[in-house]
Structure 1
Amino acid sequence: MTTTPPEPDQPFGAGQPPYPGEQQPAAPYGAYPTSPGGQPPQRQAPPAQPSSIALAVKLMYAGAVLSVLSLIYSFTTLGSLKDDIRAELLKNDTTVSQSTIDAAYAVTITIAVVFGLIGALLWVWMAWKNGQGRSWARVVATVLGAFNLIGLLFTAAGSNSETVTVISSVISVVLAVVILVLLWKKESSDFYSAAEASRRMY
């Protein structure tokens, strides 16, 4: 086999085939990896939600609505709440001042509003992240469901708990239990695994 000599103005070895075993230059740093066909890998679309996840997400939004309704209802009982606070403070101290009663009333209202809004936002956040197939969100939803059950036990044990409050807590716990059953079904677990694999592709 003969080889063509290089032109006078070309360096020695130019135009010659590589020696056996000689490696080609590596791709420049930062180049996209290619598939066997030489094309960059295609970005995979996120997997579709199974019926169990879709229903769980809807129920989570229903839980958020329930939290907002409970908060609105609490505002309709502000008058009796202030009377209850006054009676409780006077029971412990008959010389309590009106300013102390007003301060305790304001703190109680603030706590109720903050916790009501946080509860609604947690429902929405869990619906969003579990709908995306985030495995950690399913674990967080499970922990929050356990806290919800504990809250119901404390509410039911309270002697001053109103019937509406107890019913709202029971509905919230039932929602949480149904949602967790849906989130831990096999088709839901497959969805979380597929979603995580899809995110690792890019």
Structure 2
Amino acid sequence: MSDYGTPPPPPPGPESGYGQMPQMNQSGAPQAAAVRPPAMDQAVMLMKVGAGISLLGLLLSLFMHGAIRDAVEKSNASLTPAQVDTAVAVGTATGIVFGLLGVGLWLWMASANGKGKSWARIVATVFFAFSLLGLVSTLLQAGPVISKLLTVVSTLLGAYIIFLLYKKESSEFYAASSAPRA
């Protein structure tokens, strides 16, 4: 009983409903939760910025019918107007699909890497490798300059994020987050 006649709260535990018992390490001492280092905080924030860039690219594809049409007509002057219309529609739809996919992947990687999932760092690295291929492809194709600029910015952003994910403090965070809990 406390000084005021009310009992103290029960200790935290699964049966009390107030929380979980602390995780114990192999020596029986409480195991501290892995604290996300500043490099990981920055990487997660930049992944969210990457999602914003993908969203911007998606919105641009909706408003750039004229630029897409010009690029299609320049790439093949022998196309009929119906073929140009089809190519513009396919280009716009592709931009929307890839924009939505990009937003989703950026946010998924921000969440998983922010939680210290080791597999997420590997997946992010693979996605970055694909983005390098996409950069080369984008730069070699005819198309709107703004689209190329967004691809370059997104790729540079990805390169910096990968750098952050492989810093020593980030690697320690992944290791601590993946450590078996007793």
Bucket of the pairwise TM-score, normalised by the shorter protein: 0.7 to 0.9
Once superposed, what is the RMSD of the aligned Cα atoms?
Answer: 2.3
Unaligned runs of 5+ in 2: 1-20, 24-30
Task: Find the structure with the greater CA-based Rg.
Answer: 1
CA distance in structure 1 between the partners assigned to 2:47 and 2:135 by the alignment: 18
Unaligned runs of 5+ in 1: 1-40
Code of the aligned partner of 1:113: I
SS at match of 1:122: helix
User: Offset at 1:46?
Assistant: 3.4
Code of the aligned partner of 1:42: P
CA distance in structure 2 between the partners assigned to 1:163 and 1:103 by the alignment: 22
Matched, 1:165 2:152: no
Q: How does 1:12-51 map to 2 (within 5 A)?
A: 42-43=22-23, 44=31, 46-51=33-38
User: Offset at 1:105?
Assistant: 2.9
In structure 2, the CA distance between the partners of 1:173 and 1:128, relative to structure 1 (3 Å rule), is same
Q: Decide whether the 8 Å contact of 2:44 with 2:113 is kept in 1.
A: yes
- Post-superposition Cα deviations, 1:16-35, rounded to whole Å, max 9, x if no partner, equal xxxxxxxxxxxxxxxxxxxx
SS at match of 1:164: helix
Find 1:123's aligned residue among 77, 99, 106.
106
Structure 2 match to 1:55: 42
Q: Decide whether the 8 Å contact of 2:72 with 2:84 is kept in 1.
A: yes
Matched, 1:112 2:99: no
SS at match of 1:136: helix
- Post-superposition Cα deviations, 1:60-85, rounded to whole Å, max 9, x if no partner, equal 00000011111112222113423544
CA distance in structure 2 between the partners assigned to 1:61 and 1:47 by the alignment: 22
CA distance in structure 2 between the partners assigned to 1:101 and 1:66 by the alignment: 28
Structure 2 match to 1:20: none
Mean Cα deviation higher: 73-82 or 123-132: 73-82
Normalising to structure 2: TM-score of the pair? 0.76
Normalising to structure 1: TM-score of the pair? 0.69
Query: How many residues are treated as equivalent by the alignment?
Result: 156
User: Offset at 1:190?
Assistant: 0.7
- Post-superposition Cα deviations, 1:37-92, rounded to whole Å, max 9, x if no partner, equal xxxx7335631100110000000000000111111122221134235445656x34
